[in-house]
Structure 1
Amino acid sequence: MSIGAGIALIVIGAILAFAVDLPNNYVDLTTIGYIMMGAGAIVFIIGLVLMVRRRQTDTVTRTEGVGDARVTRSTTRSSGDDLV
């Protein structure tokens, strides 16, 4: 979710900085565009770090015997170092 929000901020900031040329005496849209692009880059990087940092896989195996049930659950967590 935050990766998409970062991309959206970058795109909106680029539109404000480079494409909009409205006469305005109160607000500098170019500066606001640059600020939004910087914030979008920060949000995008934070989203990537959080996505890579926490990956978890749960596997549940159910084996039934002659009268009892046995459930085996194994949890595997991998860090971002494995992906590089």
Structure 2
Amino acid sequence: MSLGAGIFLFAVGAILAFAVNISVDWVNLQVVGYILMVAGIVGIILGIVLIARKRTAVSTTASGVDPVSGDRVRRTVRTEDQI
């Protein structure tokens, strides 16, 4: 879930919990609003955590000539660092 989806869920939940005065027999809209607000908060927290743990990748390439066979040798090393 992205950060925007969490904010959207929270906003829809707040509207259902506090602004809608419709009574439906088979569902309590106020409880549904509170559930959506909690889901939105969880989504916002997950979005922030996923944004904070972005990784950077560094590629290092070294090339040379093999002294035995005379072939060109190319070596690539990729390392991932966390910020």
Deviation at 1:73, TM superposition (A): 8.1
2:46 corresponds to which residue?
46
Following the alignment from structure 1 to structure 2, what is the Cα–Cα distance between the partners of residues 7 and 56? 24
Following the alignment from structure 1 to structure 2, what is the Cα–Cα distance between the partners of residues 76 and 25? 55
- TM-score by length of structure 1 reads 0.67
1:77 corresponds to which residue?
81
Q: Structure 1: 5+ residue runs without aligned partners?
A: 61-71, 80-84
Q: Structure 2: 5+ residue runs without aligned partners?
A: 60-75
Partner of 2:10, secondary structure, is: helix
- TM-score by length of structure 2 reads 0.67
Q: Percent identity?
A: 46
Runs of at least 4 residues off by over 6 Å: none
How many residue pairs were aligned? Answer: 78
More helix by share: 1
1:68 corresponds to which residue?
none
Q: Please say if residues 58 and 73 of structure 1, whose CA atoms lie closer than 8 Å, have aligned partners that are also in contact.
A: no
1:40 counterpart letter in structure 2: G
Deviation at 1:43, TM superposition (A): 1.0
2:6 corresponds to which residue?
6
